[in-house]
């Protein structure tokens, strides 16, 4: 069994991944705070990814890394810079120094959130971040590309939509990702023999998607869950997600308008 480091193991998505990947890999869990307990084939290494020595110790001897650690929504610059820019840089640098071959980078839909929902975008679409958080994910994608080209650290960047047991609103019907479909993508990223640097979208089989996920399909991804199964219940209660025109128009929803909208028709937002 491969030994895989899971950063951000104590978070919501990390908790889903522990359950989904059980028995498939030996998991080395890391987080800033201690975890309650480890299961069979799990070990815990406490690490703050802003501390390079601690990060190297967490990475030493693993075959691959699932990098979920960091701040997962919009925040002030200091928070995003520390957790997502410095943390992700240290992680990649530790992977290079310790010889970890493959990294799964949890990118986000917010790296491309300024695209309109009517635009179908794919893995070749350049970032169009909707927030400092989205910018940090675009940075992570570029960092992955640099480390693949220059140092041979291979990466799959997953532009994750919204992970949960079911989609929670109209926008999430387009970007929903079930835990087992995320696990399938992660396993492809870790085990596919021919990955150097890839971008895929982290979504289930969503009929209302605005993403062309043919790159994931090419790599063997066959999502098992469909957001349409929840359509009736969601559409019965919700039509707008954000309560404003621009947020409902853009893929990133209210990350786009957060801090930006006094006047939703501001030219910069169009
Ligand atoms: C993300 O990237 C966030 O980590 C998550 O908390 C959600 O806000 C999600 O995007 C989303 O767009 O729904």
Q: Which helix (H) or strand (E) holds 79?
A: helix 77-80
CB atoms within 10 A of CB 230: 16
Q: Does residue 267 belong to any structural domain of this protein?
A: no
Q: Which CATH number goes with the domain that contains 9?
A: 3.40.50.720
The answer on pLDDT for 101 being more than 80 is: yes
CB 125 within 8 A of CB 112: yes
Q: Does residue 49 belong to any structural domain of this protein?
A: yes
pTM higher than 0.85 for the full model? yes
The SS3 assignment for 128 reads: coil
pLDDT tens sequence across 76-92: 999 999 999 999 999 99
**Residue of minimum CA distance from atom 8 in ligand 1:** 73
Please give the tally of structural domains in the chain.
1
* Closest ligand 1 atom to Cα of 252: 12
Residues in contact with ligand 1 by the CB-under-6-Å rule are: 72-73, 108-110, 160, 162, 172
Q: How far is the CA of 251 from the centre of ligand 1 (A)?
A: 11
The answer on pLDDT for 123 being more than 90 is: yes
Q: Does residue 207 belong to any structural domain of this protein?
A: yes
Q: How far apart are CA 42 and CA 25, in angstroms?
A: 9
Q: How far apart are CA 12 and CA 202, in angstroms?
A: 16
* Closest ligand 1 atom to Cα of 253: 12
Q: Which helix (H) or strand (E) holds 215?
A: helix 214-218
The answer on pLDDT for 263 being more than 60 is: no
Residue range 196-214: mean pLDDT, rounded: 98
Q: Does residue 144 belong to any structural domain of this protein?
A: yes
Q: Does residue 269 belong to any structural domain of this protein?
A: no
Residue range 127-138: mean pLDDT, rounded: 98
Q: How far is the CA of 124 from the centre of ligand 1 (A)?
A: 21
Residue-number span of the structural domain to which 46 is assigned: 3-257
**Ligand 1 mutation target, pool 68, 71, 75, 110, most atoms within 8 A of CB:** 110
Q: How far is the CA of 165 from the centre of ligand 1 (A)?
A: 14
Sheet with 3-7: list strands edge to edge.
42-46, 26-31, 3-7, 64-67, 102-108, 154-160, 197-202
Q: Does residue 210 belong to any structural domain of this protein?
A: yes
* Closest ligand 1 atom to Cα of 134: 2
Q: Does residue 266 belong to any structural domain of this protein?
A: no
Name the active-site residue from 25, 71, 133, 147. 133
Q: Which helix (H) or strand (E) holds 141?
A: helix 132-151
Q: What is the pLDDT, as a whole number, of residue 264?
A: 52
Alpha-carbon distance values, 22 to 43, 105, 185, 196 (Å): 12, 20, 15, 26
The answer on pLDDT for 269 being more than 80 is: no
Q: Does residue 265 belong to any structural domain of this protein?
A: no
Backbone angles phi and psi of 176, in degrees to 5: -60, 145
Assess whether 71 carries a catalytic annotation: no
């Amino acid at each position: 069994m491969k030994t895989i480091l899971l950063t951000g193991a104590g978070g919501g998505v990390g908790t889903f991944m522990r359950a989904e990947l059980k028995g498939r890999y030996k998991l080395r869990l890391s987080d800033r705070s201690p975890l309650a307990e480890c299961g069979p084939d799990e070990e815990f290494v406490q690490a703050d990814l802003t501390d390079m020595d601690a990060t190297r110790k967490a990475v030493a001897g693993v075959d691959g890394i699932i990098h979920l650690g960091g701040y997962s929504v919009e925040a002030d610059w200091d928070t995003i810079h520390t957790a997502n820019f410095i943390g992700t840089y240290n992680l990649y640098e530790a992977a290079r120094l310790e010889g970890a071959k493959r990294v799964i980078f949890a990118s986000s839909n917010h790296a491309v959130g300024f695209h309109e929902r009517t635009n179908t975008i794919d893995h070749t679409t350049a970032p169009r971040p909707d927030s400092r958080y989205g910018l940090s994910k675009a940075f992570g994608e570029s960092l992955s590309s640099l480390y693949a080209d220059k140092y041979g650290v291979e990466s799959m960047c997953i532009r994750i939509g919204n992970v949960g047991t079911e989609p929670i609103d109209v926008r999430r019907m387009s970007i929903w990702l079930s835990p087992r479909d995320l696990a399938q993508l992660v396993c492809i990223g870790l085990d596919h023999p021919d990955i150097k640097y890839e971008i895929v979208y982290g979504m289930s089989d969503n009929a209302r998607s605005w993403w062309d996920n043919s790159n994931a399909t090419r790599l063997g991804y066959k999502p098992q869950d469909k957001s349409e199964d929840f359509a009736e219940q969601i559409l019965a209660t919700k039509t707008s997600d954000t309560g404003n025109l621009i947020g409902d128009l853009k893929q990133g929803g209210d990350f786009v308008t957060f801090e930006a909208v006094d006047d939703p028709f501001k030219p910069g937002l169009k």
